[in-house]
Structure 1
């Protein structure tokens, strides 16, 4: 398995429009963050989790030429807005793109992209196959995907476990039942928005404590705000086995 972090930023991305802070003005490429998304290459299956507003640029930057399916964590715009850009995969692969999501997420996508689902389609619109999932494991081309239910304030969000890799973004509460589904993962990804308290995201310290509790060999933090600080400075204070992810980071598991 190979995973590529396509984006590790929060809903505004980094740099933030109009901001002159040291993070937004940084020349370190690790402080340039697209909206959060990740790509999985399982050899015979390629997946993307979430298609935010930067989806086109992310796919081009990573050199991804084939995509079998899209998984959605939840319905917020910074995780769905780029769905139209699956069209080149439709054309190249000559088939509809399966998108896997909970019912409320699919309903939101159908509202936001009504032209895709219209009975009278404009030529060239994305060809999408919606697949409703629940909190139960499901398979794609023989590979088992385990949803990890979490809460984003009061909004239900799904993380996903694929083999020994668990990806979770946009949460500040992981139920005990979900922790049991995560434990045993070799790599875990958690959101760590900023150092100050937030209503719907883990702070840096909260993410560190959760990482310690879950006990993976390696934990990466994503969905990072410019308020967290410079990548190079934050990394110095992280415990062993914990690191900040950055756009383009590749992680490989046997």
Structure 2
């Protein structure tokens, strides 16, 4: 399995428009963050988790040429807005793009991209097939995927586990039953927005606490705000086994 971080930034991305803080002005490529998304290649299957506003550039930058499905964590715009840009995959692969999401997420996508689901479609619109999922495990082309229920303030969000890789973004509460689903993870990805309290995201200290509680061999933080600080400086503050992810980072699991 290979996991590529397509984006590791928060809803505004980094740099933030009009901001002149040291992070937004940083020349370190690790401080340049598209909206949060990952690409997973496992057993010949190509999957993306979330299609934010930067989806097109993420696909171009990472060189993804085939895509077998898209998993959605939740319905917020910074995780869905780039869905229209699946069209080149429709053209190349000559088939609909399966999207996997909870019913409320599918309903929101159908509302925001109503032209895709119209009875009288404009030529060239994205071709999508919606697959409703819940909290039960499911398969995509033989790859087993375990949904991990978490909460983003009061909004239900799904993380996902594939093999020994577990991915959670946009969360500030993990239910007890979800910890059991995370046991034995080799790699955990978890959101860590900033150092100050936030109503719907883990802070860095909260994310460290959760990571140590889950006990994965390696943990990478994502969905990072410019308020967290410079990548190089924050890295020095993290415990052993915990790192900041950055755009373009590739992980390989045996």
TM exceeding 0.5: yes
Cα deviation digits, residues 110-163 of structure 1 (max 9, x gap): 000000000000000000000000000001111110000000000000000000
**1:43 shift after superposition:** 3.2
Distance 2:227 2:4 in 1: 24
CA contact (8 A) 2:43 2:143 kept: no
- Deviant stretches of 4+, over 6 Å: none
Matches within 5 A, 1:17-56: 17-56=17-56
* Structure 1 equivalent of residue 154 of structure 2: 154
Q: Matched residue of 1:134: which SS?
A: coil
**1:44 shift after superposition:** 1.6
Distance 2:186 2:44 in 1: 21
Q: Flag structure 1 segments of 5+ consecutive residues without an equivalent.
A: none
* Structure 2 equivalent of residue 179 of structure 1: 179
Q: Flag structure 2 segments of 5+ consecutive residues without an equivalent.
A: none
Distance 1:121 1:11 in 2: 30
Q: Matched residue of 2:145: which SS?
A: strand
Q: Matched residue of 2:206: which SS?
A: helix
Distance 1:89 1:182 in 2: 32
Q: Matched residue of 1:109: which SS?
A: helix
* Structure 2 equivalent of residue 234 of structure 1: 234
Does residue 119 of structure 2 align to residue 119 of structure 1?
Answer: yes
Q: Matched residue of 1:34: which SS?
A: coil
Distance 2:151 2:90 in 1: 33
Superposition RMSD on alpha carbons, in Å? 0.4
Matches within 5 A, 1:69-88: 69-88=69-88
Distance 1:95 1:76 in 2: 26
**1:183 shift after superposition:** 1.0
Q: Matched residue of 2:53: which SS?
A: coil
Distance 1:161 1:12 in 2: 26
Matches within 5 A, 1:210-229: 210-229=210-229
Distance 1:205 1:242 in 2: 12
